[in-house]
């Protein structure tokens, strides 16, 4: 419990300085990194023909986002399909198959990093670095850019533009992601995370058998994998692998990197709208739900399996699927953090969690991953729930709802509804089809409620751009590779375009002065309302399938 409290204390301490720094970056103000990095920024503008002073309408901003993402996905697909003819392939790995290459390219392009393959036996060093790790930067920067654009929608009035996508992308990469990733990679190297181009090492085990130990440039990818809430592991065991996460300090650092930018963006929001209490109200809502999830997973895993207790097995908690060096506390904390933040990195096998322990990461993703969430995605998702909360509050008192001086009207609410329905639609439709169709259902290795949970978890993970898995489901088939890709595209770009459309609509509005009837949105009352709205909306959407999956599995024990 002290470790959990230490993590929360450090996170709170870093939120304000991180948020203030990002606010200065995206408002074009000087920072302490301006002198060494400003030449890099301007060089990118000159090389790419970007006018730093030009602003974009929300439709052009969205068009730039989509164009950049499509080119990135195509680039990744080509590299994976031609992998065996490129250098930095000491293991001699072959080209990636058509459907798998498409699924992987979409996965990394949407910040999902779902992996239907074993990385160390599928991807060369060049593929890991050029095709995958670069996307960890680009997709994270794109998410931050959309969040900043939405914040500008609240901060501006009578404006036709919401910023410049290319400038926001560049600043997010140069001033935020790259510097922190370099420092984090060096810290991880100091703990024993490997970083080399050595060929795979062949050794003899103590029993005399031959074993191949993969090598590679791991630390550099591990740093941005966590910081950008990407989650795709260099090794199949992900952050449970000792080459990715060898010590308690590396484990703590990786967990901290996951929440660092999403937490900081709440303060950035407050700074840019000139009321930091608004940002802290959102932070408080996220923190309350985060701590609730940690409490459930930790207590469920400590309680262990009741069937084993009845059989007289010593009650040591549920250690199945967990690393002994991390134990139950750090495994539970990591599980909640990674599914709160659309990261998907794991240091334990989620499929081995108790039913209630596994329920929490599933619900975290179904909430829309707004509990801090992915870099950028968590903030704009939470802001859309805030719009819904003030709309409901306005209905209660018979007053036109306002948020930060902007009237919330029919146009914004239609977009919010589309935003809230798009992801559940693809999750429930594809999950339902997968359990009744003969071919997809053969990929389900576990019968009954747990098998259903595995299917729902997979589609929930891909549609919410998380990337973690329950395992027990063979997802490397044509059906799942294609449907997962569709889920990832919908969960990423439909929501981003919706957020940008709302940003454009809000930016055009005049600011309404506060009055006696204005509902305050910087108080504990609003925080409580916001949390309640999120829980109720998600509960109405997913409770039936949760009841048929983890809840009935828990009751059966």
What is the spatial distance between Cα 440 and Cα 458, in angstroms, rounded to a whole number? 13
> Nearest-CA neighbor of 327 among 230, 412, 251?
251
Confidence (pLDDT) at 446: 84
For residues 141-167, give the mean pLDDT: 94
State whether residue 403 is helix, strand or coil: strand
DSSP 8-class letter at 402 = E
State whether residue 235 is helix, strand or coil: coil
Confidence (pLDDT) at 511: 87
Confidence (pLDDT) at 476: 79
What is the spatial distance between Cα 397 and Cα 324, in angstroms, rounded to a whole number? 54
- Domain range summary for the chain, segments of one domain joined by +: 2-201+211-539
The pTM (predicted TM-score) of the whole model is: 0.94
Confidence (pLDDT) at 438: 81
Cβ atoms 289, 367 nearer than 8 A: yes
Q: What is the largest CA-CA distance in the chain?
A: 79
Confidence (pLDDT) at 154: 93
Compute the CA torsion angle 82, 87, 90, 91 (nearest 10 deg).
0
- Give tens-digit pLDDT for 31-75: 999 999 999 999 999 999 999 999 999 999 999 999 999 999 999
Residues 6+ positions from 382 with CB-CB distance below 8 Å: 282, 285, 286, 370, 373, 530
State whether residue 147 is helix, strand or coil: helix
- Residues across the chain: 557
Alpha carbon 42 to its chain's center = 30
Beta bridge partners of 492: none
- Give tens-digit pLDDT for 89-138: 999 999 998 888 998 999 999 999 888 888 999 999 999 999 999 989 99
Cβ atoms 283, 230 nearer than 8 A: no
State whether residue 259 is helix, strand or coil: helix
348 phi, psi to nearest 5 deg: -150, 160
What is the spatial distance between Cα 231 and Cα 244, in angstroms, rounded to a whole number? 12
Residue 440: pLDDT above 90? Answer: no
Cβ atoms 177, 224 nearer than 8 A: yes
Burial tier of 250 (Cβ tally within 10 Å: 0-12, 13-18, 19+): buried
For residues 218-244, give the mean pLDDT: 92
DSSP H or E run through 2: helix 2-26
What is the spatial distance between Cα 516 and Cα 116, in angstroms, rounded to a whole number? 55
Confidence (pLDDT) at 25: 96
Give the pairing type, strands 201-204 and 210-213. Answer: antiparallel
DSSP H or E run through 212: strand 210-213
Cβ atoms 459, 429 nearer than 8 A: no
- Give tens-digit pLDDT for 254-297: 999 999 999 999 999 999 999 999 999 999 999 999 999 999 99
Whole-number Cα distances in Å, 61 to 46, 57, 164, 475, 497:
20, 6, 7, 34, 9
In terms of phi and psi (left: phi > 0; alpha: psi -120 to 50; beta: otherwise), the region of 385 is alpha
202 phi, psi to nearest 5 deg: -105, 125
Beta bridge partners of 322: 348
Confidence (pLDDT) at 314: 63
Structure token pair of residue 76: 């990744």
User: Helices in 319-476 by DSSP H: which ranges?
Assistant: 327-340, 355-366, 377-397, 410-436, 438-441, 448-463
- Give tens-digit pLDDT for 162-188: 999 999 999 999 999 999 999 999 999
Residue 158: pLDDT above 90? Answer: no
Q: At what angle do helices 327-340 and 276-303 cross, to 10 degrees?
A: 140
- Give tens-digit pLDDT for 429-438: 999 999 888 8
Place of tokens 């085990």: 205
Confidence (pLDDT) at 278: 94
Alpha carbon 153 to its chain's center = 23
Confidence (pLDDT) at 280: 96
User: Helices in 30-109 by DSSP H: which ranges?
Assistant: 34-48, 58-81, 98-109
What is the spatial distance between Cα 146 and Cα 143, in angstroms, rounded to a whole number? 5
Burial tier of 488 (Cβ tally within 10 Å: 0-12, 13-18, 19+): buried
What is the spatial distance between Cα 343 and Cα 222, in angstroms, rounded to a whole number? 12
Confidence (pLDDT) at 315: 67
DSSP 8-class letter at 217 = B
What is the spatial distance between Cα 244 and Cα 191, in angstroms, rounded to a whole number? 10
Task: Give just the sign of the alpha carbon dihedral 172, 173, 178, 181.
Answer: positive
- Cβ-based neighbour number of residue 146 at 10 Å: 26
Task: Give just the sign of the alpha carbon dihedral 42, 46, 48, 50.
Answer: positive
Residue 394: pLDDT above 90? Answer: no
């Amino acid at each position: 419990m002290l470790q959990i409290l230490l993590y929360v204390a450090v996170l709170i301490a870093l939120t304000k300085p991180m948020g203030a720094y990002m606010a200065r970056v995206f408002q074009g103000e000087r920072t302490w990194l301006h002198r060494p990095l400003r030449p890099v920024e301007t060089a990118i503008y000159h090389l790419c023909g970007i006018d730093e002073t030009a602003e974009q309408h929300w439709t052009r901003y969205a068009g730039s986002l989509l164009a950049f993402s499509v080119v990135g996905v195509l680039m990744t697909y080509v590299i994976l399909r031609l992998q065996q003819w490129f250098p930095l392939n000491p293991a001699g790995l072959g080209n990636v198959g058509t459907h798998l290459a498409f699924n992987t390219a979409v996965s990394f392009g949407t910040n999902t990093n779902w992996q239907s393959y074993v990385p160390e036996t599928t991807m060369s060093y060049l593929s890991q670095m050029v095709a995958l790790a670069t996307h960890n930067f680009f997709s994270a920067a794109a998410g931050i850019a959309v969040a900043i654009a939405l914040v500008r929608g609240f901060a501006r009035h009578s404006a036709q533009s919401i910023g410049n996508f290319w400038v926001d992308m560049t600043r997010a990469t140069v001033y935020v992601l790259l510097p922190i990733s370099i420092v984090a990679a060096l810290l991880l190297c100091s703990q024993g995370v490997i970083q080399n181009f050595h060929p795979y090492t062949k050794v003899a085990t103590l029993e005399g058998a031959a074993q191949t130990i993969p090598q590679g440039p791991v630390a550099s990818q591990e740093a941005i994998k966590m910081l950008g809430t990407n989650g795709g592991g260099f090794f199949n065991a992900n952050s449970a692998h000792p080459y990715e996460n060898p010590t308690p300090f590396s484990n703590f650092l990786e967990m901290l990197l996951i929440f660092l930018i999403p937490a900081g963006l709440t303060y950035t929001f407050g700074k840019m709208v000139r009321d930091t209490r608004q940002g802290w109200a959102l932070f408080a809502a996220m923190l309350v739900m985060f701590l609730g999830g940690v409490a459930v997973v930790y207590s469920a895993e400590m309680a262990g399996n009741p069937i084993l207790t009845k059989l007289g097995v010593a009650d040591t908690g549920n250690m199945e699927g967990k690393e002994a060096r991390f134990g139950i506390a750090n495994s539970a904390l990591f599980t909640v953090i990674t599914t709160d933040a659309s990261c998907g990195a794991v240091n334990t096998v989620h499929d081995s969690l108790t039913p209630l322990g596994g329920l929490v990461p599933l619900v975290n993703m179904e909430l829309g991953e707004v509990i801090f969430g992915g870099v950028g995605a968590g903030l704009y998702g939470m802001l859309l729930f805030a719009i819904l909360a003030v709309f409901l509050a306005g209905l209660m008192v018979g007053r036109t709802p306002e948020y930060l001086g902007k009237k919330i009207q029919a146009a914004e609410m239609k977009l919010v509804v589309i935003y809230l329905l798009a992801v559940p639609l693809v999750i429930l439709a594809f999950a339902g089809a997968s359990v009744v169709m003969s071919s997809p259902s053969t990929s389900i290795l576990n019968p009954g409620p747990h098998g259903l949970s595995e299917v729902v978890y997979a589609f929930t993970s891909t549609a919410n751009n998380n990337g973690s898995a329950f395992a027990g489901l063979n997802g490397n088939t044509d059906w799942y590779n294609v449907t997962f890709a569709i889920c990832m595209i919908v969960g990423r770009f439909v929501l981003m375009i919706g957020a940008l459309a709302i940003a454009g609509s809000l930016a055009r509005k005049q600011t309404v002065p506060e009055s006696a009837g204005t509902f305050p949105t910087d108080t504990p009352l609003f925080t409580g309302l916001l949390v309640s709205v999120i829980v109720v909306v998600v509960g109405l959407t997913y409770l039936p399938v949760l009841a048929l999956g983890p809840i009935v599995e828990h009751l059966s024990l």
